[in-house]
Structure 1
Amino acid sequence: MEKIKEAKSSLKKARWARKVSDEALDGMLEHATFRSDSRKSHIFRLGDPSSRFYGLLSGQVRLTIPAETGDEFIIMDVTKGRWFGGTSLTENAPRTADALALVDTEIVEIPASVVRETAEKFPRIYKNLFAEQSLYVRLLCNLMASMLFFPLKARLANRLLMLIVLDGRREGRAAYLETTLSQSDFAKLVSGSRQQVNRVFRQWNDEGIVNFADGQYHIPSVKRLFVESKSTAP
């Protein structure tokens, strides 16, 4: 019962479930199951059948695209309260990424068929899911353009902006971001080296663009970071 309450609380905070009736949420959660995944275990892999939608109750999950060479491209890290695996909600296509538990995790999963059936009765779910997926597509398109055409500093700025949208807190022109990503992780996110990333963060700190203190990044002006994301200067 306690896990159901926690899952419902998580659902209520999710963008795709906002303003959805308790009747709809309770109906979906009647079919929910819970699982525990240990650190470094896969929730799913690239190419697996996609039949379930996942909510993260605790822990952290990394979504990546693996290569046969052993390299990987990090899409994003999923944090507590976020939902992932949404491609299964529109079609029975194979998974397009790996999902790896970075730490011990607790997950609630709902069959995609149940979400679709509930959405037929409560169309707001489809409206919200459409908006949610549109947001992710925009963010990923911006990310791909950045990775292909811009220097490391712009790629790093773009990643930070993406994280702010998904997990940050806005206060006027400023933003705050709490993340467990290390600078080595950021280096993987932007296909650079840790030394390069450290150099950019030091420069941004000196210029008052990004400061790190008390376990969180403070961006005094999101507009200035956006300008950095469009810069072609190395």
Structure 2
Amino acid sequence: MSNTANWIALLPQHIQDEVTATFKIKHFSDGEHIYRKGESGAGAGQYQILSGTVRLRVIADNGKEATYVIYGEGDCIGFLSAIDNDVRPQDVIAIGEVKVGKILSKDFEQLTEKYPIIYKTLCEHVAYRIREVFNMYEYGLFFNLERRLANQILFLLAFSATNVPNSACQELEFTQEMLASSVGATRQAINKLLKDWSDAGFIEYHYGKIRILDSKPLVKISGVDKMITSQVAVKAIAS
């Protein structure tokens, strides 16, 4: 199965067209919630990101925040609650200006009645993502912080809206706090690694922005042969 968070793209083209024709377009500004953890999923619908990026995060009882993953253009979110009508499992927050297409629950139900393959496709997609959750568990259990951070930056590089393919220099807009919460580390530890990599000459870091001057050292640190494979475990958990 394709390494993607876009289940709609797995459908035959004519069904894709019918799904996207139901979209209700919505816009969100930086920091706005698309939905919140614990909100009822019954009748709440699901989304495809049409432009911009969002982050999925949870907040512990002690106030500590964790960013699961960043999703970008084409990715789908909210489909778990569309399947089981259970509560939203995490917050989804806009990073910058975001445009989404919302599939209303009634439209989704009509589409699945007309095309049973939609549920089959979603089941296969969810099964694929569950397998990758196990990969993510292994990733967090055995990788040291440097390797986790390299993988996370490669993930962001692969899916960032500001990433320009084949560019010699690529830029990410991401704070140290967000990086730290996404890999389970302190801001101070992230700052030290970024400084080490900056001193080595393959990144530049200024507040809220990382410029990747050479991604090859990051790939080597991450321990993977292909950049995209480093993203599978990280991206799989969220929906």
TM-score scaled to structure 1, two decimals? 0.69
Secondary structure of the corresponding residue to residue 60 of structure 1: strand
2:215 paired residue number: 219
CA distance in 2, matches of 1:153, 1:224: 7
Secondary structure of the corresponding residue to residue 30 of structure 2: coil
The structure, 1 or 2, with the larger RCO (C-alpha pairs under 8 Å, 6+ apart) is 2
1:33 paired residue number: 24
Matched, 1:81 2:74: yes
Secondary structure of the corresponding residue to residue 40 of structure 1: coil
| Identity value in percent | 28
CA distance in 2, matches of 1:169, 1:37: 23
Letter in 1 for 2:186: S
State the shift of 1:144 in Å: 3.5
1:99 paired residue number: 92
Unaligned ranges ≥5, structure 2: 205-209, 225-229, 231-239
Secondary structure of the corresponding residue to residue 114 of structure 1: helix
- Aligned-CA RMSD value: 3.6
State the shift of 1:75 in Å: 0.7
2:104 paired residue number: 111
Q: Deviations over 1:12-63 (max 9, x none)?
A: x974223634432332234321212222221111111223111122232111
Alignment map for 1:1-234 (pairs within 5 Å): 15-18=6-9, 20-50=11-41, 51-115=44-108, 117-119=110-112, 121-122=114-115, 124-148=117-141, 150-160=143-153, 162-163=155-156, 179-204=172-197, 211-212=202-203, 215-216=211-212, 218-220=214-216, 222=219, 224-226=221-223
Secondary structure of the corresponding residue to residue 96 of structure 2: coil
The farther-off stretch of 199-208 and 39-48 is: 199-208
Structure 2 CA distance for partners of 1:207 and 1:84, relative to 1, 3 Å: same
Secondary structure of the corresponding residue to residue 96 of structure 1: coil
1:8 paired residue number: none
Structure 2 CA distance for partners of 1:181 and 1:136, relative to 1, 3 Å: farther
Letter in 1 for 2:222: L
Structure 2 CA distance for partners of 1:113 and 1:66, relative to 1, 3 Å: farther
TM-score scaled to structure 2, two decimals? 0.68
State the shift of 1:125 in Å: 3.8
Letter in 1 for 2:30: R
Aligned length: 210
Structure 2 CA distance for partners of 1:42 and 1:18, relative to 1, 3 Å: closer
Secondary structure of the corresponding residue to residue 85 of structure 2: coil
Structure 2 CA distance for partners of 1:161 and 1:216, relative to 1, 3 Å: closer
CA distance in 1, matches of 2:138, 2:5: 27
Q: Is the 8 A contact 2:70 2:156 kept in 1?
A: no
Q: Deviations over 1:180-214 (max 9, x none)?
A: 22334212212323332233345456779xx3369
CA distance in 2, matches of 1:124, 1:170: 34
The farther-off stretch of 116-125 and 46-55 is: 116-125
Letter in 2 for 1:192: A
CA distance in 1, matches of 2:185, 2:174: 15
Unaligned ranges ≥5, structure 1: 1-12, 230-234
